[in-house]
Every structure is written in structure tokens, then in C-alpha cells.
Chain A
């Protein structure tokens, strides 16, 4: 039951435009071993690069799984090099094997919002900035996702996670406003799951110390919402989190098989508290 949103034809069009219709499919959108940031010769056809990247960005409408990979390459769109183009081709090879994937809107009774945030600390080799991301579920349907490099350098993984948490909080609050506008009654305060204990404590514990002084604004913003009970922050072990920012690791994770569609079901081993991605292969 439900609705399947996918961009099958759009993916085929992109592959045709890139001349990669007969490429060999790969299993992951990002190569876990290759570093794409090495200094390299600039790519000979930047316009083509831009066009493909623009198309891939639009593809994230239905494909949260390539969100991280696309965003990572998009950071170099002003001066693409050959290694960046290789990364793009890796994404295209991944798409080649997953053209029928989309996201599945399931009919559910729950109208609760669940956000998942994660960060990759100091992931950018050039400037050591972290990448943060979030994924928000409405009931069992993912409705909002983002992955992006953070604007400031984080001095600790807690700080990076905390910034991602603040971004996710802002998104969840916006969605709450939208739900109010849509006259959908909210049942409980939205929950945001964060896989960093330090960040979880920081959102409740009003202690500043030397390593977190400088994240004051985010600190106050999130803590304010938590104090008003508009939002609750919970810890989720990394094994079952949905790390948007490091989807490559996530997709290779043995616990979480990657599938054709994304949705949430209660985790069988963790008594419904945690959620995990489930696989749903639609052989249409």
C-alpha cells in the first residue's frame, strides 16, 4: 500500500547524456577507499560536469541515498578535476544498477516526526571542515534530507555532531510549522536521534566548558527548544543510526541492507525505540 515516487526515466536520461548507458553497476554511490580531493589535472569539459551535477542534484528529490555523494562532488563544481569526474562516474555507475529505486510512501497511522542527524568530523581534507546531515521521517516516510559541509571548522566530533543537530532541529521545527498550516494535529514532541553522547548531553546539560564555549548560538538554540519540551533529543547507537553524511559507510554496514526504497520500521531487536532502514525491493 502506498505510493512509489521515482525518477527512473530521468536516471536513464542522465546516463544517456553522460554516455554511460553501458557502464558496469557498482554497489555504493561513493567509493570508500578512493580519496577524491587530491590535487589533479582540471577536467577538460567543466560545462558537462556542471550539467551532470545539476541533474544529479535534482535526482536527490527521490534518492536520499546519493545525497551525500552528490553534495561531496558539488563542493568542487567551480573547478572540477579528473578525480572529481571519476567520483561523478562512480555515482552514475551506482545509479546504473539502481535505476528502479525510489522512495516509498507508506500508509501509516503515525504522524510523528523523527529526525536523524549525523556528522562526519573533519571529513574535508582541504579545509578540515565537517560534513553534517539529517534525515527527517514523517511517520514511516522520509520527507526531508540534507547533507552539507558545515560552515565552520569543528574542533571536536561532538561539536560537529552538535551543529548537525542544530540544523536538524531547525528543519524539524520548520516542518512542524508546515504541519500546523496543513492542520495535521501533532501528537507528541518530535524526536531527534543523535549518535553522539556528548552532543546529546550538551542539549540538556547547561554546562559550558572550554571545548564548547564557541558553539554558543547553536547551543542556546537547541537547548532552548529542549527546555520548552518542543523537541526531545535521544541517543541512538551508531550501528542503527541513519547517517546521511556518511552514507557510504552506512550502505556497507552489515546490519543495514540497502534497498530500493527507504522507510522506517521499528527495529526488531530494540523494542520499537530505534528504527532502521528496511529493504523493499520492488520488482516492477
Chain B
């Protein structure tokens, strides 16, 4: 949980310097299709069947899926989810329950409810032997973590309810209330109707607790017997004080991400997030995902700078999508640049293309880019020392962005900066981006073309060494991707050459070489 003591980072972030990945978490109770071939007896059996997502295996990296037809529980790693379809959903009946009771104002917040939980009224299980009829031995299962639960589907019930005509007794808090010790026995819990309905309308904004319905039907009882092992741990965290961190709801590490509901909003219109919702203080860790970073003003500004630089560089133009395009994705990479003493110099956001989805022959052909040989570096250094030359080091800003692409490469619009008028358009890249397979080669080609045009010639035995000579003056130029060393016997002409280079590329003259390729000189 984020806490103001740690500058609104969670202890996990501070400890490990990365945010946990929540992509594995899925909506509880939704329709899913696990890969069932390992369970099948024959290769022509169906490879999947409709199941209900029941949770995560405690001993595997996999999901537990309850087969609707066979009532078996499968554990599978490869599952397709339909997170908006709920086979056990009985939302109409929930709605009935909700509307029959007056809805209190939304001041009943989640933390209030958690700090003062309504007294659970346990009703005894009318048919306890039933749950042993489940195909798997559910009674022996360990307690599993709570599962994120979407607000609009607060109820899990049995698909057979309607067909069998059984009356539904449901409670969104059914399991939350079960956290009392009495839940060790297979019991069903229910909450007074007013507190149930109190949460239902407000659930659109507040993250939901796990909920389940009970049913008087035998199948429903089986379900509840199983579900009773999903218990919500007691919450003892203090009420929230941070504007971005919602209340802590569970001490378990696998609970819902604190601001998950906000994430959905951000996803829809990330760039439109108003500045007032951003955190102004400076984060001390590097975020992993765009949604993490966009909450902070400094990261947002860094991304805006990068986008502005790319626009001024005319890196891409928007074109309508065509199915023949191989489109690569893009993502943001965040780095905090620090000074030697450890203080923060600047926040740097870089847009990188996901070049690993490129296909050879379609959007890249050659990728090899030569680098300087070690012996050449040492030989050239030796000559320069012997002749008492100064060695200049040049640093090219955003070297790879200078490369001109010859292939047609299409990229998705960058996260957070989607053109609102042309949201479905793709970026046709003209200049290379970091992450593309041909980026180093494109940069090398661009640089070598320029150097050849101003009179240098590439050495035949080491193509990263460029030599300029006119009989009396001689200059050597070594290229190691974006590190450039330049030396020669005429310092006036040397500065002229550096100027020529700086007209073509944005560069910085670092002066005498002190630190080259991690080598202290």
C-alpha cells in the first residue's frame, strides 16, 4: 500500500524499486476458456470448454477454472478470459434486492464499513455433505488470497438458479462477513439488507470486496461450500490520508491494486488527465508502466518533452491503418538521471519501439552495425599520445533518433499521446526510434554518409575508423555507436570539424577524453 511516509510509494516499490506486475490478476467469476489438452484423453477432444474463473492455484503459476458442464476444477496456465461475461451472474435479482430498499447516501465509504463491519449473521449450512460432491477435494484447499472483483458484477450465483426456479438469497458481502472464525465450518453468511444495498450503488467508485451469493439450490450450496474458503483477511490499517492512495483493504499482498479503478479511467483518456490530479512531489523510484508514471507531474512533463522533440524531429506521420501493416507497439522507459553526488539531475522519459515484433523482410532487413575494434582504439590512442595530439570526445544527443529509415515501419501511437481526432491511425516512422532492430545500423549509415560527404574516408580494415587527410593535416575519428573520438594534428581545423558535425547533429563537445566506453583515461 502506498504510504505518505515513503513519499506515496508502497513498501514493495521502495524495497525492490519496481512495481509488482498485476497482469496476472483476473476478474473473479468471469467466463474463461482454459487450455485443456493436458487433461484430455484423446487428441480430438475439445481443447477448451467454458469455465468460470475461480482463482489462482496456490502451487502453480496457473488459474483455477471451474467447468460449468462437468463441475470439475481445472488448473491451467493458458486461459482466455472474457472478463465481462459472468456465467453465474444474476444481476437482475441483485437489482431487485437493491431497489426494494432505500439507498443511503454515498457517505458510507468502504473504510467505514471495514472499520465497523456489520455484524455477520451466520446461517448454518443446510446441506453440508453436499460440498463433498465436488470433483476436487475442495475442503483441503488452503486459504487463497482475495480476488479483485468488479463492481458491476458484485454477485456470483449459480446458473441453474433461474432454470430451477430457486429463490436467490444473495449478499455482496457474503464472504467478507465470513472472515469470522465461525467460517471454518461450512456456513453461509448474510448481512442485513440495508447494509447490503448501501454498498451496491457506491461500488461504482470504490473497489469491491470479494462477494458471493448463496443459493438454496444444491449446486449453489456446492459453490458456496467451495467459496467459503475465500476469506477476506481482517483489515486493521488506518484510514487513508494520501490523496492518491485509497484505503488499505487487505493485508494480503495479492489484493487489488490500490488505484485500479482509476487505471481504467486513465487508460481511456490518459493524456486528458487533468493536471490537478497529478502528484506534484518528485518520485524517487523509476516507474515501470505508463500508468505509474503519468500520476506524477515530473514524469508527465518528461514525456511531453520527449514527444515535442520527436515532433520537431518529424519522426513519424499519422497514416490510416491497413491490415497489411505489421504494426509494432511502443512503450515508455523512465530513467532518473543522477549527478555524481546522487542528487537527481533530471527525469528522462524515452519512447521506445517494441522492435521484437518486427518481421525480417517486412520492416527490417539488415541490422548489423559495425563497432570499433579494441586494438584500433589502443593503436589510435598510442599514435595520438606519441604525436602529442589532443583527443576530443563528442557526445551525440539521441543518436538513434537521427537515423533515417529506409524500410516502412508502422508503430502504434504512443501511450498517453494518442491523437484524439485520429485515434485509429498508425505512426509511419521516418526516423528510427530506440528499440527498432535497424536503429543502430540506420544511425551508423547516417553518420558515415555525412562523414564521407565532408571528406573523411572509412578505413578498410576497421569500418568504424574514419580518416581525413589532405597531405599535411590528418584527423582520425573513432565511432562507437554514439560515442565519438576525434583527434588530429591541426587544432583549428579540428574545431571547424566539430562545428560542421554540430550543424548536422545535436552534439556536445566533452573536451578532452576522460571516460570512454567505461574506461577511465
B465 within 8 A of A: yes
A3/B381 in contact, CB under 8 A: yes
**Please, which residue of chain B has its CB at the minimum distance from the CB of A60?**
B374
Interface size class of B (residues with CB under 8 A): 20 to 34
B519/A181 in contact, CB under 8 A: no
B518 within 8 A of A: yes
Q: Tell me the smallest distance from the CB of B425 to a CB of chain A, in Å.
A: 42
A143/B375 in contact, CB under 8 A: yes
Q: Tell me the smallest distance from the CB of A63 to a CB of chain B, in Å.
A: 11
Residues 90-103 of chain A: 1 if any B CB is under 8 Å from the residue's CB, otherwise 0? 00000000000011
Q: CA separation between A182 and B387, bound complex, in Å?
A: 13
Task: Give the contacts of B471-509 with A (CB-CB under 8 A).
Answer: 474, 476
- Given the known A-B contacts A2-B385, A139-B386, are A178 and B519 also in contact in the complex, defined by CB atoms under 8 Å? no
Of B376, B386, B462, B519, the contact of A5 (CB 8 Å cutoff): B519
A177 within 8 A of B: yes
Of B379, B385, B459, B462, the contact of A107 (CB 8 Å cutoff): B385
Q: Tell me the smallest distance from the CB of B65 to a CB of chain A, in Å.
A: 33
A179/B379 in contact, CB under 8 A: yes
A138/B379 in contact, CB under 8 A: yes
Q: Tell me the smallest distance from the CB of B140 to a CB of chain A, in Å.
A: 33
Q: Tell me the smallest distance from the CB of A264 to a CB of chain B, in Å.
A: 12
Which A residues are in CB contact (< 8 Å) with B518? 7, 9-10, 58
Of B374, B469, B517, B521, the contact of A183 (CB 8 Å cutoff): B469
Which B residues are in CB contact (< 8 Å) with A43? none
Which A residues are in CB contact (< 8 Å) with B382? 105, 138-139, 141, 143
Task: Give the contacts of A174-221 with B (CB-CB under 8 A).
Answer: 174-175, 177-179, 181-184
Interface centre among B376, B379, B474, B521 (most CB of A within 10 A): B379
A105/B385 in contact, CB under 8 A: yes
Task: Give the contacts of A5-46 with B (CB-CB under 8 A).
Answer: 5-10
A178/B376 in contact, CB under 8 A: yes
Which B residues are in CB contact (< 8 Å) with A183? 467, 469, 474
Q: Tell me the smallest distance from the CB of B493 to a CB of chain A, in Å.
A: 16
Of A4, A6, A177, the contact of B460 (CB 8 Å cutoff): A177
- Given the known A-B contacts A2-B385, A184-B383, are A178 and B520 also in contact in the complex, defined by CB atoms under 8 Å? no
B378 within 8 A of A: yes
A246 within 8 A of B: no
A181/B465 in contact, CB under 8 A: yes
Q: CA separation between A108 and B386, bound complex, in Å?
A: 6
A6/B520 in contact, CB under 8 A: yes
- Given the known A-B contacts A105-B381, A182-B467, are A4 and B521 also in contact in the complex, defined by CB atoms under 8 Å? yes
B420 within 8 A of A: no
Interface centre among A105, A138, A179, A182 (most CB of B within 10 A): A182
Q: CA separation between A5 and B519, bound complex, in Å?
A: 6
Of B461, B469, B474, B517, the contact of A178 (CB 8 Å cutoff): B461
Q: Tell me the smallest distance from the CB of A110 to a CB of chain B, in Å.
A: 9
Q: Tell me how many residues of A have a C-beta within 8 Å of chain B.
A: 37
B107 within 8 A of A: no
Of A3, A7, A10, A175, the contact of B385 (CB 8 Å cutoff): A3
A181/B467 in contact, CB under 8 A: yes
A181/B375 in contact, CB under 8 A: no
Of B379, B465, B474, the contact of A175 (CB 8 Å cutoff): B379
**Please, which residue of chain B has its CB at the minimum distance from the CB of A61?**
B374
B70 within 8 A of A: no
A143/B379 in contact, CB under 8 A: yes
A62/B376 in contact, CB under 8 A: no
B461/A5 in contact, CB under 8 A: no
**Please, which residue of chain A has its CB at the minimum distance from the CB of B513?**
A3
Which B residues are in CB contact (< 8 Å) with A6? 519-520
A106 within 8 A of B: yes
- Given the known A-B contacts A9-B520, A105-B382, A138-B382, are A181 and B460 also in contact in the complex, defined by CB atoms under 8 Å? yes
Q: Tell me the smallest distance from the CB of B129 to a CB of chain A, in Å.
A: 49
A124 within 8 A of B: no
B352 within 8 A of A: no
A157 within 8 A of B: no
**Please, which residue of chain B has its CB at the minimum distance from the CB of A146?**
B375
B380 within 8 A of A: yes
Q: CA separation between A5 and B377, bound complex, in Å?
A: 11
Which B residues are in CB contact (< 8 Å) with A274? none
B388 within 8 A of A: yes
B386/A107 in contact, CB under 8 A: yes
B386/A181 in contact, CB under 8 A: no
B375/A175 in contact, CB under 8 A: yes
Residues 52-67 of chain A: 1 if any B CB is under 8 Å from the residue's CB, otherwise 0? 0000001001100000
Q: Tell me the smallest distance from the CB of B254 to a CB of chain A, in Å.
A: 27
Which A residues are in CB contact (< 8 Å) with B385? 2-3, 105-107, 141
Q: Tell me the smallest distance from the CB of B233 to a CB of chain A, in Å.
A: 35
**Please, which residue of chain A has its CB at the minimum distance from the CB of B380?**
A182
B460/A182 in contact, CB under 8 A: no
Which A residues are in CB contact (< 8 Å) with B519? 5-7, 10, 61-62
Q: Tell me the smallest distance from the CB of A171 to a CB of chain B, in Å.
A: 8
Q: Tell me the smallest distance from the CB of A188 to a CB of chain B, in Å.
A: 17
Interface centre among A139, A143, A177 (most CB of B within 10 A): A143
**Please, which residue of chain B has its CB at the minimum distance from the CB of A10?**
B518
Q: Tell me the smallest distance from the CB of B2 to a CB of chain A, in Å.
A: 30
Q: CA separation between A3 and B485, bound complex, in Å?
A: 15
Q: CA separation between A277 and B69, bound complex, in Å?
A: 82
**Please, which residue of chain B has its CB at the minimum distance from the CB of A7?**
B519
Q: Tell me the smallest distance from the CB of B322 to a CB of chain A, in Å.
A: 42
A111 within 8 A of B: yes
Which B residues are in CB contact (< 8 Å) with A175? 375, 379
Q: CA separation between A61 and B520, bound complex, in Å?
A: 12
Q: Tell me the smallest distance from the CB of B472 to a CB of chain A, in Å.
A: 11
Task: Give the contacts of A145-187 with B (CB-CB under 8 A).
Answer: 171, 174-175, 177-179, 181-184
Q: Tell me the smallest distance from the CB of A267 to a CB of chain B, in Å.
A: 21
Which B residues are in CB contact (< 8 Å) with A111? 386
A144 within 8 A of B: yes
Q: CA separation between A184 and B376, bound complex, in Å?
A: 13
**Please, which residue of chain B has its CB at the minimum distance from the CB of A106?**
B385
Which B residues are in CB contact (< 8 Å) with A102? 520
Which A residues are in CB contact (< 8 Å) with B517? 61
Of A9, A61, A109, A178, the contact of B379 (CB 8 Å cutoff): A178
Which B residues are in CB contact (< 8 Å) with A9? 518, 520
Task: Give the contacts of B172-225 with A (CB-CB under 8 A).
Answer: none
Q: Tell me the smallest distance from the CB of B383 to a CB of chain A, in Å.
A: 6
Q: CA separation between A142 and B461, bound complex, in Å?
A: 19
Which A residues are in CB contact (< 8 Å) with B459? 178, 181-182
Which B residues are in CB contact (< 8 Å) with A177? 460-461
Of A105, A144, A181, the contact of B461 (CB 8 Å cutoff): A181
**Please, which residue of chain B has its CB at the minimum distance from the CB of A58?**
B518
Q: CA separation between A111 and B386, bound complex, in Å?
A: 9
- A-B CB contact pairs (8 Å), 7 listed: A5-B520, A5-B521, A9-B518, A141-B382, A144-B375, A177-B461, A178-B379
**Extra 12 A-B pairs, beta carbons < 8 Å, given A61-B517, A139-B386:** A5-B381, A5-B519, A5-B521, A9-B518, A105-B381, A105-B385, A143-B375, A175-B379, A178-B376, A178-B459, A178-B465, A181-B460
Question: Shortest 6 CB-CB distances between A and B: which pairs?
Answer: A144-B375, A143-B378, A181-B459, A141-B382, A177-B461, A105-B385
